[in-house]
Structure 1
Amino acid sequence: MLSAGLAKRCLVLILGLFFMGIGISLVTRSTLGTSPISSVPYVLSLALPVTFGEFTFVITLLFFIAEVLIIGRTFPKIQYFQIIVALLLGTFVDVGMFLSAGVNPGIYPEQIAIVLLGSVVLALGIFLQITANVILNPGEGLVRAIAEKTHRRFGIVKVMFDSTLVASAAVISFAAFGTIEGLREGTVISAILVGYIILGFALWYTRYDLGKYLDD
Structure 2
Amino acid sequence: MLQHEEEIGVVDTGSLTRRWATYAIGIYLLTLGVSLAIKASIGISPQSSLTRTMTVVFPAMSQGTFNFLLELIMLLLTYLVMPKGFQLRNFLSLIPAFALATFLDLNLKLTHWVVVDSYAAKFLLLVFADATLAFGLFLMIRANLVLMPIDMFVNTVFKRTGWKWGNIKTAFDCTLLVTSAAVGLFCLGSPHFIREGTIINGILVGQYVKLYFFLFQHIAVKRKRAELK
TM-score (norm 1): 0.91
2:118 paired residue number: 107
Residue 46 in 1 paired to residue 56 in 2?
A: yes
Identity %: 26
Structure 1 contact 16–125 (Cα < 8 Å) conserved: yes
Distance 1:172 1:109 in 2: 29
Q: Deviations over 1:68-125 (max 9, x none)?
A: 3323232344332111111111111111111111111111001101111111111111
Residue 5 in 1 paired to residue 24 in 2?
A: no
Residue 192 in 1 paired to residue 203 in 2?
A: yes
2:6 paired residue number: none
Distance 2:51 2:95 in 1: 18
Structure 2 contact 45–201 (Cα < 8 Å) conserved: yes
1:90 paired residue number: 101
Residue 14 in 1 paired to residue 24 in 2?
A: yes
Q: Deviations over 1:149-186 (max 9, x none)?
A: 11111111111111111110000000111111111111
2:144 paired residue number: 133
Q: Deviations over 1:106-148 (max 9, x none)?
A: 1100110111111111111111111111100222111111122
Structure 1 contact 28–35 (Cα < 8 Å) conserved: no
1:56 paired residue number: 67
Structure 1 contact 170–181 (Cα < 8 Å) conserved: yes
Distance 1:71 1:77 in 2: 13
Among candidates 146, 152, 173, match of residue 162 of structure 1? 173
With over 3 angstroms needed to count, the CA separation of the structure-2 counterparts of 1:17 and 1:142, relative to structure 1, is same
- Return the letter of the residue paired with 1:137: M
Structure 2 contact 54–66 (Cα < 8 Å) conserved: yes
Deviation at 1:209, TM superposition (A): 2.4
2:9 paired residue number: none
1:33 paired residue number: 43
Q: Deviations over 1:26-54 (max 9, x none)?
A: 11111112222212111001110211111
Q: Which has the larger radius of gyration?
A: 2
Secondary structure (helix, strand or coil) at the match of 1:180 reads: coil
Structure 2 contact 133–205 (Cα < 8 Å) conserved: yes
With over 3 angstroms needed to count, the CA separation of the structure-2 counterparts of 1:66 and 1:7, relative to structure 1, is same
- Return the letter of the residue paired with 2:171: M
TM-score (norm 2): 0.86
With over 3 angstroms needed to count, the CA separation of the structure-2 counterparts of 1:112 and 1:71, relative to structure 1, is same
Q: Count matched residues.
A: 209
- Return the letter of the residue paired with 1:35: S
Task: Give unmatched runs, 5+ long, in structure 1.
Answer: none
With over 3 angstroms needed to count, the CA separation of the structure-2 counterparts of 1:163 and 1:178, relative to structure 1, is same
Deviation at 1:4, TM superposition (A): 6.7
Distance 1:32 1:54 in 2: 23
- Return the letter of the residue paired with 1:82: S
Moved more, 66-75 or 183-192: 66-75
- Return the letter of the residue paired with 1:200: L
Distance 1:159 1:12 in 2: 27
